[in-house]
Amino acid sequence: MIKLIACDIDGTVLEQDERVLPQELLEQTERLLQKGMDFCFSSGRQLSNLRVLAEHLVDRFYYICDNGAIVYSDGKIPEIISQTVMDHEDAVRIANSIIETPGLELEVSGSNTGFLYIKTEAFQNLMLSYQGMNLIRIHSARQLPDSVLKISIYSKSAESLFPVLSREWGSKYHVAIAGEHWVDITLADKGTGISALCRHLGIGLESVAAFGDNYNDIPILDLVGHPYIKNTSPEDLLKRYPNSFSNVVDVLKTF
């Protein structure tokens, strides 16, 4: 029996230029909540942005944010269920390397706050297009918070950047492609997040359904009993998981 549904956002339910969840998705989610299932977003985004997306169901969702680095409860004032921070000096070194490399843009996640080192107006406009984001512009990596949860690098091609970052930091941190232009570096991953949430709820991972579309979803899809992969995902991911979908809503209707 499925007791918890975990859903990625970007690429899974929203395409690159979309900013609002389909109403039918919210309707199906509300139906399942009324049946006694729990629902969580599992995303690289921060809490404040995800709560905007949740609309009238905002207080009924759980939130796995920053690719599992921080997990929040439901309720009007969400509580932190778990938090996994990076070594601060490592974070500063990584941030400095991104700042010094032409063509790369930087977002660093603290607890529900994004710290941006902005090189171009295009990147600034992109980040401002996400509703509800708490953003602070920095001018030096030394301005980063003590608790760094995630470092996100925006580039022309995430696929090309990934091997470079993986060789440098992959032995200590999770380095994952999070979209066409994004590579994320965290100490935690979405598997860390879903495990913490299941412990909090007192349920087994085998009773979780999870939806994803990219390499940063592997840790959660590998753990849960009911993994679903978007049918536009890379070919190796489609071969890895037996259940694929074109629209999350179509699957939710079967629950």
Q: 182 with 194, same domain? A: no
Q: 36 with 100, same domain? A: no
Provide the pLDDT for residue 131: 83
Of 166, 186, 206, at which residue does a domain stop?
186
Total domains, the chain: 2
User: At 48, which CATH number?
Assistant: 3.40.50.1000
Q: 217 with 100, same domain? A: no
Q: 61 with 98, same domain? A: no
Would you state the structure tokens that stand for residue 139, as one six-digit string?
A: 């001018």
Would you state the structure tokens that stand for residue 225, as one six-digit string?
A: 């009993």
- Residue 229 sits in which domain range? 4-83+189-252
Provide the pLDDT for residue 220: 98
Provide the pLDDT for residue 84: 98
Which stretches in the chain have pLDDT values below 50? none
Q: How far is CA 91 from the centre of its chain?
A: 19
Q: 40 with 130, same domain? A: no
Provide the pLDDT for residue 228: 98
Q: 99 with 159, same domain? A: yes
Provide the pLDDT for residue 202: 98
Provide the pLDDT for residue 15: 86
CA gap 247, 217 in Å, rounded: 17
Q: Which residues neighbour 230 within 8 Å (Cβ) at sequence distance 6 or greater?
A: 11, 12, 211, 212, 213, 244, 245, 246
Provide the pLDDT for residue 17: 77
